[in-house]
Structure 1
Amino acid sequence: MTYLLGLTGSIGMGKSTTAGFFRDADVPVWDADETVHRLYAMGGAAVAPIEALCPKAVSDGAVDRAALKTWISKDPKALGRIEAVIHPLVAADRQEFLKRHRDKPLILMDIPLLYETGADKWLDGVLVVTTTAEDQRARVFARPGMDEETFQLILSRQMPDAEKRARADCVIETRSLEQTRQEVETLIRQITGAQDA
């Protein structure tokens, strides 16, 4: 029986780094953001349906994220129409990934808006990564093109960190790379050991 562990955390909390440690330990990782990027890329399954909705949102055979943002800002119905295209494609990709790795004792599902989309209902457990507000800001503002307005907009779309931690099955505070790696390895042993028992 495969254990499906969800991974989430607010922006700048160390989610991508933590997912990388699971990959390093040979745990298959399905990444929701990476899946959307692939669907939007040239030849991706979302390109034609998005182009049918808004021709200006596609350029050079790929979905143009900047054009999508412009469309969403101008049309209040745009986001819902985009999600109606993307969500079934993402779900199909996820199911295919799970089928490919069904012999593994543990699969990590990296989902930024995990609680916000109700994914916790079909997962076996949820890991939330967190850090101090100071470390979060420092990490976020080290990213190119980040400003206060963008940061606040992203936070407004995410469940507050305290609420995520309260709902989580396990929490890792990403204080340092080595400490985070060790906690990931311990968690993997706990889950896979319980699966073997």
Structure 2
Amino acid sequence: MTLVLGLTGSIGMGKSTTGRMFEELGVPVHDSDAAVHRLYSGSAAPLIEARFPGTVVEGVVNRERLAKAVVGQPEAFRALEKIVHPLVRRDADAFVEKHREMATPVIVLDIPLLFETDGEDRVDRIVVVTAPAEEQRRRVLARPGMTEKKFAAILSRQVPDAEKRRRADFIIDTGKGMDAARQAVKEIIAQLSPDQSAHD
């Protein structure tokens, strides 16, 4: 039996870094952002070009052109999500199926918008990555091209951090530093691995 762990958290909370910690400790991770990257040079490209002409260059979605086509236009953004989300979900489903066949004990689905897309039914347990609001703001605004306006727009589309934490099975606070986060990941793996549960 493969236990599927959903990893999520708002922008700037350290979710990608936490996902890498799971991988380093031997837990296979399906990264939604990485899947989008692959799809943008694969099956998603012709679909996006058909809906947003001029956004694909030499078979690959140009993220800057695509951003210009959808930023500040909720309808266009929703149209893009309708193209991309099902493809990412199919990619993740194939990942889960493969590991079920291999009887991998624990796997992670890194789903940035897990609560926003009603993804709870796809996973057995949920890990929410969090950090203090001021630390989140500092990290996000340090990103290239990020503005207060963009940050506010992203947050407005995300379930609030407090609500995510309330609905989580496990919480990892990356505001306490990398070592503390890594220790929290180790404890979650120990709690969920079958050899551990045999001793409970």
1:142 equivalent in alignment to 2:123:
no
1:98 equivalent in alignment to 2:96:
yes
Counterparts of 1:129 and 1:74 in 2: how far apart (Å)?
A: 27
How far did 1:74 drift? Answer: 7.5
2:136 counterpart SS class: helix
2:27 is aligned to 27
CA-to-aligned-CA distance 1:51-95 (integer Å, 9 cap, x gap): 222221212221122222222248654333323322221122112
Counterparts of 2:111 and 2:166 in 1: how far apart (Å)?
A: 17
1:60 is aligned to 58
| Contact 1:47–1:62 (Cα < 8 Å) also in 2 | yes
Counterparts of 1:19 and 1:118 in 2: how far apart (Å)?
A: 20
1:119 is aligned to 119
Code of the residue aligned with 1:156 in structure 2: it is S
How far did 1:24 drift? Answer: 0.3
| Contact 1:172–1:180 (Cα < 8 Å) also in 2 | yes
1:188 equivalent in alignment to 2:189:
yes
Deviates more, 1:132-141 or 1:3-12: 132-141
Q: Could you state the TM-score of these two structures normalised by the residue count of structure 1?
A: 0.91
CA distance 1:88–1:134, shift in 2 (3 Å): closer
Alignment length, in residue pairs?
195
How far did 1:193 drift? Answer: 3.6
CA-to-aligned-CA distance 1:126-166 (integer Å, 9 cap, x gap): 00011111211222122222221111111111111001001
CA distance 1:194–1:10, shift in 2 (3 Å): farther
| Contact 1:105–1:195 (Cα < 8 Å) also in 2 | no
Deviates more, 1:75-84 or 1:28-37: 75-84
Identity %: 50
CA distance 1:71–1:38, shift in 2 (3 Å): same
Counterparts of 2:180 and 2:59 in 1: how far apart (Å)?
A: 43
Counterparts of 2:15 and 2:72 in 1: how far apart (Å)?
A: 31
Counterparts of 1:35 and 1:121 in 2: how far apart (Å)?
A: 20
2:54 counterpart SS class: helix
Query: Once superposed, what is the RMSD of the aligned Cα atoms?
Result: 1.8
Q: Could you state the TM-score of these two structures normalised by the residue count of structure 2?
A: 0.90
How far did 1:181 drift? Answer: 0.3
How far did 1:9 drift? Answer: 0.8
